[in-house]
């Protein structure tokens, strides 16, 4: 189980997150939703120990998560990745193995096999020699999914993985998510899609600096909660997309 207790984040005097407490269970996918600037990406980064000013307690399997980062895979939001960085698809995915092999050692045969099968799983093995910047948005997302798989983690964070991708990539991603859940992994999925994606989550966390609601789809997606998170703009949207 992943447990977050009393998490606060302050960016130079501006409160980004306040008193965040929740649990995420093995074999489940938790969807994190909320408007732009709600603190969704900040939440993920704070949990991973990437924000020095963050305060609070994050435990995984009853021990500090900081000491178990080997067990964590993180696919950042697209806007936070430098796509011009000169690196091949193969090496992006191989980066997931450096924690296991070390930076200066040659990758083991086992690592190569793991990278190969991760790329195969997302249908990107044929592109392994390409520069990451020379792929379409959906292909890039698949490569980052492969990197997460190659890490063989127990806890997965995906920050808006569906932005700008087509149905094929989306279907591959959901297949992989289902398999990871079956293997007892914990998945945290930040998403802007208030439609079908939410129904695929086992629980939801609605965020706007604080937790507005946490629980099942029915508990979280209410007119009142959406109004509190998104204001009036959501009401029309809600009737069209959410009430399904
Ligand atoms: N490095 C930073 N320094 C200062 N303020 C920041 C920093 N990163 C984020 N913020 C602020 O913290 C708040 C939360 O940002 P965050 O990126 O976590 O939101 P988000 O919910 O992920 O938004 P989006 O849906 O646009 O991705 C915003 O007000 C943002 O301006
Ligand atoms: Mg974000």
Nearest CA to ligand 1 atom 25: 36
Q: Which residue has the tokens 């990437």?
A: 50
Which has the closest alpha carbon to 201: 237, 214, 209?
214
Q: Is residue 134 part of a domain?
A: yes
Token output for 239: 């009737």
* CA terminus-to-terminus distance, the chain: 30
User: For residue 183, what is the domain's CATH number?
Assistant: 3.40.50.300
Residue span of the structural domain in which 82 resides: 23-33+71-192
Tell me the pLDDT tens digit for each residue of 133-182: 999 889 999 999 999 999 999 999 999 998 888 888 899 999 999 999 99
Number of the ligand closest to the Cα of 32: 1
Q: Is residue 244 part of a domain?
A: no
Q: What is the mean pLDDT of residues 201-225?
A: 96
Q: Is residue 217 part of a domain?
A: no
Residue 13 binned pLDDT confidence (cut-offs 50, 70, 90): confident
Residues 6+ apart with CB under 8 A from 232: none
Residues 6-31 as b/e (b if ≥16 CB within 10 A, e otherwise) read ebebeeeeeebbeebebebeeebbbb
Q: Is residue 186 part of a domain?
A: yes
- How many domains does the chain fold into? 1
User: Which of 34, 38, 50, 164 for a ligand 1 pocket mutation test, highest count of atoms within 8 Å of Cβ?
Assistant: 38
Q: Is residue 152 part of a domain?
A: yes
Measured distance CA(147)–CA(97) in Å, rounded: 9
CB 49 within 8 A of CB 70: no
Inform me whether the pLDDT recorded for 243 exceeds 50: no
Token output for 33: 């939703």
Residue 244 binned pLDDT confidence (cut-offs 50, 70, 90): very low
DSSP, collapsed to helix, strand or coil, labels residue 13 as coil
Q: Is residue 7 part of a domain?
A: no
Nearest CA to ligand 1 atom 4: 11
Tell me the pLDDT tens digit for each residue of 72-93: 999 988 777 777 788 999 999 9
Q: Is residue 226 part of a domain?
A: no
Distance between Cα 207 and ligand 2 center (Å):
12
Q: Is residue 142 part of a domain?
A: yes
DSSP, collapsed to helix, strand or coil, labels residue 182 as helix
DSSP, collapsed to helix, strand or coil, labels residue 14 as strand
Q: Which residues contact ligand 1 via a Cβ below 6 A?
A: 11, 16, 34, 36-42, 77
Label residue 170 exposed, middle or buried (CB < 10 Å: 0-12, 13-18, 19+): middle
Least confident of 36-40, 84-88, 130-134: 84-88
In degrees rounded to 5, what are phi and psi of residue 232?
Answer: -65, -25
- Closest atom of ligand 1 to 12 CA is 4
């Amino acid at each position: 189980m992943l447990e977050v207790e009393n998490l606060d984040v302050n960016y130079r005097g501006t409160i980004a997150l306040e008193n965040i407490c929740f649990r995420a269970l093995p074999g489940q996918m938790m969807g994190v939703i909320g408007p732009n600037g709600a603190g969704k990406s900040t939440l993920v980064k704070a949990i991973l120990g990437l924000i020095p000013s963050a305060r609070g307690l994050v435990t995984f399997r009853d021990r500090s998560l900081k000491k178990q980062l080997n067990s964590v895979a993180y696919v950042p939001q697209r806007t936070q990745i430098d796509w011009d960085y000169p690196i091949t698809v193969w090496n992006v995915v191989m980066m997931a193995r450096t924690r296991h092999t070390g930076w200066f050692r040659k990758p083991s045969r086992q690592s190569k096999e793991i990278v190969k099968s991760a790329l195969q799983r997302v249908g990107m093995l044929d592109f392994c020699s390409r520069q990451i910047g020379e792929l379409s948005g959906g292909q890039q997302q698949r490569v980052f999914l492969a990197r997460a798989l190659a890490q063989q983690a127990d806890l997965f964070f995906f920050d808006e993985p569906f932005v700008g991708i087509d149905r094929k990539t989306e279907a591959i991603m959901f297949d992989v998510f289902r398999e990871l859940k079956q293997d007892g992994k914990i998945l945290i999925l930040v998403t802007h899609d208030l439609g079908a994606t939410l129904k695929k989550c086992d629980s939801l966390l609605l965020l706007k600096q604080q937790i507005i609601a946490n629980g099942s789809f029915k508990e979280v997606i209410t007119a009142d909660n959406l109004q509190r998170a998104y204001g009036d703009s959501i009401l029309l949207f809600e009737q069209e997309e959410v009430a399904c």
